A = this chain, B = another copy of it.
Amino acid sequence: MSEKLPPGTLCAVCEDVATGKHYSVASCNGCKTFFRRALVNNREFICQGNKDCPVNKGVRCACRYCRLQKCLAVGMDKNSIQNDRDRIGYTKRKRKHDDHESDDRHHSEHVHDGSSGSPQVNDNSPENGDIKDIKIDLNCLDPIAERLTTLENNFTLLLSRCGDLHLYATLEDALNAPSRFMQPISCEWSDHVVLTSRDDKMPFWRQRLIALYIDWAKTFSTFRSLPYTDKVAMVTNHASSFMIMCEAFRTPEHAKSDVVRRRPDLPTIVSNNSGQGCSRVSTAFSNSDNAEGTHDDLSTLLNATCIQQSINKGILFGDEKPAEEKTLLPLPIREIKQEIIETPTTTGMIQLPTEYGNLPADYGLWIPQDYGHPTAGHEGKSDMHNFFEAREFCAGRPSSCNLNLNERTMRTVPMIEPRQFPILTANSASLSGITPVLTMMIDLVMKPFRQLNFSTTEFALLQAIMFFDPDTEGLDSASQRNVIAEQKKLLAVLFRHLQKAYNINAAHERYAAIILRMPSIRRAAAKKNESLQVLDMLQLHEMNSLVKETSLGVRPSSVQQRMGIGGGAGGCLTFANEHPEA
Contacts and interface: CB of A to CB of B under 8 A. Distances in A.
B62 A86 contact: yes
Interface in A512-567: 512-513, 515-516, 518-520, 522-523, 526-527, 530, 551-553, 555, 557-558, 560-567
A72 to B, nearest CB: 12
A505 B64 contact: no
B45 A86 contact: yes
A327 interface: no
Interface size class of A (residues with CB under 8 A): 35 or more
Given A474-B402, A552-B405, A130 B127 contact: yes
A378 B119 contact: no
A132 B557 CA distance: 60
Contacts of A488: 509, 512-513
B501 A59 contact: no
A495 to B, nearest CB: 5
Given A520-B566, A562-B405, A62 B84 contact: yes
A341 interface: no
A409 B563 CA distance: 10
A237 to B, nearest CB: 11
B405 A93 contact: no
A84 B111 CA distance: 22
A95 interface: yes
A499 to B, nearest CB: 9
A81 interface: yes
A342 interface: no
A219 to B, nearest CB: 23
Most chain B Cβ neighbours within 10 Å, of A117, A123, A560: A123
A89 B119 contact: yes
Given A91-B375, A403-B473, A405-B551, A62 B85 contact: yes
A166 interface: no
Nearest to A411: B560
Contact of A129 (B49, B125, B478, B552): B125
Interface in A487-503: 487-488, 491-492, 495, 500-503
Contacts of A125: 46, 48, 101, 120-121, 124, 128-131
Contacts of A64: 86
Contacts of A487: 516
Contact of A523 (B119, B453, B564): B564
Contact of A378 (B92, B113, B138): B92
How many identical subunits does the complex contain?
A: 2
A50 interface: yes
A90 B530 contact: no
A216 B322 CA distance: 43
A81 B482 CA distance: 14
A400 to B, nearest CB: 7
29 contacts: A48-B86, A54-B119, A62-B85, A62-B119, A64-B86, A81-B477, A82-B477, A89-B116, A90-B116, A91-B453, A92-B379, A99-B131, A101-B126, A121-B127, A125-B129, A129-B131, A402-B474, A406-B553, A409-B555, A488-B512, A492-B508, A508-B508, A508-B511, A511-B511, A518-B518, A519-B566, A522-B566, A523-B566, A565-B565
Interface of A: 4-5, 7, 39-40, 42, 44-46, 48-50, 53-54, 58-59, 61-65, 78-79, 81-101, 105, 111, 113, 115-132, 138, 229, 233, 320, 322-324, 374-380, 400-409, 443-444, 453, 471-478, 480-481, 484-485, 487-488, 491-492, 495, 500-505, 508-509, 511-513, 515-516, 518-520, 522-523, 526-527, 530, 551-553, 555, 557-558, 560-567
Given A78-B481, A402-B477, A471-B523, 14 more contacts: A42-B484, A48-B123, A58-B117, A59-B119, A91-B378, A92-B374, A98-B124, A127-B132, A401-B473, A401-B477, A508-B511, A511-B511, A511-B512, A512-B515
